[in-house]
Structure 1
Amino acid sequence: MYRSLFPRDMFAEMDRLQREMQQAFDLSPTIRGFGRNGFPALNVGGTPQTVEIYAFAPGIDPSTVEVNLDRGLLTIAGERKSPLPQADANAAIHINERFEGAFRRMLTLPEDADPEAVEAKYRDGVLHITVQRRASAQPRRITIQ
């Protein structure tokens, strides 16, 4: 186990355990997002021309991240390696709150998303995915004759 339970840490551990239990059963949004704590954290929004997805994934090699779009389902998958040393007899890790391991996030895109016009860029720990909307779905003004 990574955490040591010194007497002074007991209340902090109880508080952490209570927060984790609340998050496991609570699906309402909080200041930190939804209780499920998915990695990477996502911001999704859009304009009339595009759907914009921001995945916050610092410390990940972009060549190891897979972005797939299949029948309106966008999948972001990869793995984050731990920068911490492997546990041995002389090393102890007291707190490790950074996510490590394999991850997969899936989003259903709107029907007007164009699967042929998707662009992904990774910069400063943020994966930015832009999905164009189909031109036929764009609002347009119709002239009256």
Structure 2
Amino acid sequence: MMSLLRFPAHVFEEFERLQRDLEQALAGWPLSLREASGVPLFPAVNVGRTNDAIFVYAFVPGVDPNALDITLEQGVLTIAGERGPWQPKEKETIYAQERFSGKFKRTLTLPEDVDPDQVDAKYRDGVLTIRIGRKAHLMPRRIAVQ
């Protein structure tokens, strides 16, 4: 009988193989329903972490930082705002326009250990940097053997 507490090593190798196969099979396909719908993913974000904080970098060029609405509720971070239309130079004819304008709302689910009392946001050169502290009592703790 196989123990539920211990898996044979080859099981995890099979999971890794399956993940590689799926990534290859789905290459080029949309990664989310929103992306598949053709709605632009704006703002683009990068998310990282350190031992004591989660960092969210939202790329919002052309957006007034005072017009951004940032909320964190029950581990869900929402960045909302509006970017006005780009105005061409006088007498300039536009042949193509790819810049998104209008209202936007981007929602991210964060790890369970974020602390809503430790949040700060800074805007510089079109990049919104949000730092969210992690709850110390939920972080992994090294236990010394006596």
What's the TM-score, normalizing by structure 2? 0.69
Structure 2 equivalent of residue 132 of structure 1: 133
Rounded Cα–Cα distance in structure 1 between residues aligned with 2:52 and 2:92:
53
Counterparts of 1:1-145 in structure 2, within 5 Å, are 26-28=29-31, 37-84=40-87, 92-145=93-146
Rounded Cα–Cα distance in structure 2 between residues aligned with 1:108 and 1:99:
24
Once the two structures are superposed, residues 41-61 of structure 1 have per-residue CA deviations (whole angstroms, 9 ceiling, x without a partner) of 110111121111100011111
What amino acid sits opposite 1:131 in the alignment? Answer: I
- Superposed displacement of residue 28, structure 1: 3.9
- Superposed displacement of residue 139, structure 1: 2.6
How many matched pairs? 114
Unaligned runs of 5+ residues in structure 2 are 1-27
Aligned-partner SS, 2:71: strand
* Identity fraction in percent: 50
Rounded Cα–Cα distance in structure 1 between residues aligned with 2:140 and 2:52:
9
Aligned-partner SS, 2:104: strand
Rounded Cα–Cα distance in structure 1 between residues aligned with 2:144 and 2:112:
26
Whether the aligned pair in 1 keeps the contact of 2:83 and 2:102 (CA below 8 Å) is yes
Higher relative contact order (CA 8 A, sep 6+): 1
Rounded Cα–Cα distance in structure 1 between residues aligned with 2:141 and 2:73:
28
What amino acid sits opposite 2:69 in the alignment? Answer: E
Once the two structures are superposed, residues 14-50 of structure 1 have per-residue CA deviations (whole angstroms, 9 ceiling, x without a partner) of xxxxxxxxxxx93249xxxx66630111101111211
Structural RMSD (CA): 2.4
Aligned-partner SS, 1:38: coil
Unaligned runs of 5+ residues in structure 1 are 1-24
